[in-house]
């Protein structure tokens, strides 16, 4: 689901999020399914120009963080935003941007991924979108062993 109530309903109903891979041609791979976020329209949450600065995973993170702030009831108008930071973890980061940059280098073209290229850029977009000026550490949530 795209919000807490949809997510909770799907969870209680035992609905699976798995389905055929649609974000790329997976025909050459053994696994043909994934748990993609279906029908995600970034334009419902931010303007196209802002979205173009972000890898898809960053768009997801910014939307989820905005929803979390709203659901928390935190009134950002009446708090010291210097005292509010963003601590968020990720696994691999912007794989789409990494592929784009690799293709550019392979074809001897300049890498033009800009702010999308760093794996931890999502925390900067979350903080700036919410006006938060506190700490912004990040950590990796995979490969712990």
Residue 53 has pLDDT above 90, yes or no: no
**Same-domain check for residues 132 and 69:** yes
Residue 118 lies in a domain: yes
Confidence of residue 82 (pLDDT cuts 50, 70, 90): very high
For the full predicted model, state whether its pTM sits above 0.85: no
**Same-domain check for residues 7 and 64:** no
Would you tell me how many other CB atoms lie within 10 Å of the CB of residue 38? Answer: 10
Beta bridge partners of 112: none
* Mean pLDDT of the residues in the chain: 84
**Same-domain check for residues 86 and 136:** yes
Q: In whole angstroms, what is the distance from residue 109 CA to residue 55 CA?
A: 20
What's the structural domain count of the chain? 2
125: domain range?
40-140
| CA 33 vs CA 14, 16, 24, 96, 145: distances in Å | 18, 12, 11, 18, 26
Residue 145 lies in a domain: no
What is the Cα Rg of the chain in Å? Answer: 17
């Amino acid at each position: 689901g795209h919000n807490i109530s949809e997510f909770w309903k799907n969870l209680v109903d035992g609905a699976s999020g798995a389905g055929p891979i649609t974000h790329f041609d997976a025909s050459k791979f053994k696994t043909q399914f994934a748990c993609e976020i279906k029908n995600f329209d970034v334009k419902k949450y931010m303007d196209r120009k802002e979205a173009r600065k972000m890898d898809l995973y960053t768009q997801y993170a910014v939307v989820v963080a905005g929803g979390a702030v709203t659901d928390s009831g935190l009134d950002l108008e009446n708090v010291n935003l210097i005292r509010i930071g963003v601590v968020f973890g990720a696994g691999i980061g912007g794989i789409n941007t990494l592929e784009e940059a690799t293709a550019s280098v392979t074809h001897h073209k300049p890498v033009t991924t800009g702010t999308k290229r760093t794996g931890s850029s999502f925390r900067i977009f979350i903080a700036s979108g919410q006006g938060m000026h506190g700490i912004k550490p990040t950590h990796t949530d995979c490969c712990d062993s």
